[in-house]
Structure 1
Amino acid sequence: MHVVVNAAMSADGKLSSRQRDQIAISGEADFARVDRLRADSDAVVVGVGTVLADDPHLTVKDEQLCHQRLERGEPEQPARVVIDSKGRTPDDAAILDDAATTYVCLSETAPIDRRMELANRAELVTAGDDRVALLRAFAALQEQGLEQLMVEGGGELIFSLFEVGLVDELRVFVGPKLIGGRDAPTLADGGGFIDEFPLLGLERVERLDDGVLLCWTVDSYSSH
């Protein structure tokens, strides 16, 4: 399995405002890049916080890219995955429509009634007691043939994936906008690293729109 984390952040490292409102950070060139990255993936992964805040559809928009997927013998759209420990994904979420297969990863604490409702709209993966055990959940996704995964956020999920060593690449568009706010979400929220820190190898820097695209590989973990 190969996991690519992709995100757009402001010049000061924020994903959105402190009110969790979606803010346009990148432009058309980056939108096209993200669409290509989705088209090259077996699945697009988000946390339930992103679903609740943005209600994303997570589909490939370019019809030519969809056609190319079909020519490769792949489904027209990549699968969609929600990491949702307690089953909070709304029944009418865009990600649950029939445009693509959707997997919802739950923990054992997800209520039975929510499981039943979600089971009508998605494939359910249960892994972990109080919260989704990411290693087990991703192993289950791999068993479904999902090898190339693209993670689109949010910050809590991105941190958790780095914490368990599941990230292979990090691609970040840094836009020409300052958001500010100590409570605004950042690229890697969560508890934060204390003793060991992921080390990244810079592979490519590219000017895009009025910002810059930074592409790293995850090299190792290092103590301070």
Structure 2
Amino acid sequence: MSLGASADGKITLHRDRILLRPEHRRVWASLSQDDAGPPVEQRLDVQATLEGSGSLVDHDAGPLTGLPAPTADPAELHTHHLPPSVVDDPARRYWFAAVNGRGRVRWQQENPPGWAVLVLVCRSTPLDYLQWLRQRSICYLVAGAEQVDLPSALDALGDELGITRLASTAGGSLNAALLRAGLIDEVELTLFPALVGGADTPTILDGTPLGPEQLPTRLELLASEVMPRGTVRLRYRVSASASASASASASAGD
């Protein structure tokens, strides 16, 4: 898990301000006056990053509408779609994986050089959306029935594409689900010298609160760096005892 956050743990300016939109990204980037260094995929030597659909569309957005009615066999649509033209493209170096079980994201921009989109869906994802992804040669993996099953999805990333190192740059709900499932090994936090506030503003971990018998997840500090203008980068390992006691499965509604 790798996130940039304000000193009070907020990962955006407001629930409705999506940082992938240029006007919001510029303001967010101004919170840190330090050079962030290499991008996460190089800094942590990962093969893929992971986002939830909430990082890409408004939080109340529903499934895409107006797509052509599905004509393909549902059994075919419910199999992984990994066109060789994308998977075997020598120019592709990284995967941008997104949990999108409800079919909310309209992929329409060209990918940055070296990147390819990989959508994580489930059997309840609208069939017209799955067909639309296939028609656009967008890769997807099917994991779970009513929601995306995160352990199964990560297993499929390894089995189908050989991905063994992945960094979640997602929002608090997805990161909390990954943590509760024991799927996070390390946490990297880049804290900006700024405060955002707001009771409803997303934080590094949201999701379901701890249950009566659950304890906070313990972290072991691996490295820390204080940059000249006040940005602090912290890297932790999730303790072995926390990973061992985590749930064996989790789902994500996005």
TM range (shorter): 0.7 to 0.9
Tell me the residue number matched to 2:53: 48
Kindly report which structure 2 residues correspond to 1:130-149, keeping only aligned pairs within 5 A, or say none.
130-143=146-159, 144-149=161-166
Q: Is 2:230 the partner of 1:210?
A: yes
Q: Is 2:88 the partner of 1:82?
A: no
**Structure 2 CA distance for partners of 1:193 and 1:78, relative to 1, 3 Å:** same
Secondary structure in 2 matching 1:15: coil
Distance, in Å, in 2 between the alignment partners of 1:188 and 1:206 is: 22
Structure 1 stretches of 5 or more lacking a match? Answer: 54-73
Tell me the residue number matched to 1:36: 42
**Deviation at 1:32?**
2.6
Deviations 1:120-143 (CA, angstroms, capped at 9, x unpaired): 232111111221100000000001
Secondary structure in 2 matching 1:101: strand
**Deviation at 1:107?**
1.6
Structure 2 residue corresponding to 1:128, chosen from 144, 161, 169:
144
Secondary structure in 1 matching 2:148: coil
Kindly report which structure 2 residues correspond to 1:103-182, keeping only aligned pairs within 5 A, or say none.
103-119=118-134, 120-143=136-159, 144-182=161-199
Runs (4+) off by over 6 Å: none
Tell me the residue number matched to 2:201: 184
Secondary structure in 2 matching 1:44: strand
Amino acid at match of 2:223: R
Amino acid at match of 2:182: G
Tell me the residue number matched to 1:69: none
Q: Which has the higher strand share?
A: 1
Kindly report which structure 2 residues correspond to 1:91-106, keeping only aligned pairs within 5 A, or say none.
91-93=107-109, 99-106=114-121
* Contact preservation (8 Å) 2:119, 2:141: yes
Deviations 1:23-48 (CA, angstroms, capped at 9, x unpaired): 2243452153535236x211111111
Amino acid at match of 1:47: G
Amino acid at match of 2:35: A
**Deviation at 1:81?**
0.5
Distance, in Å, in 1 between the alignment partners of 2:216 and 2:15 is: 29
Distance, in Å, in 1 between the alignment partners of 2:187 and 2:202 is: 17
Amino acid at match of 1:30: A
* Contact preservation (8 Å) 2:34, 2:230: no
Deviations 1:130-161 (CA, angstroms, capped at 9, x unpaired): 21100000000001101111111111111111
Cα RMSD, aligned residues only: 2.3
Give the number of aligned pairs: 197
Secondary structure in 2 matching 1:189: coil
Q: With the length of structure 1 as denominator, give the TM-score of the two structures.
A: 0.79
Q: With the length of structure 2 as denominator, give the TM-score of the two structures.
A: 0.71
Secondary structure in 2 matching 1:7: strand
Structure label with greater radius of gyration: 2
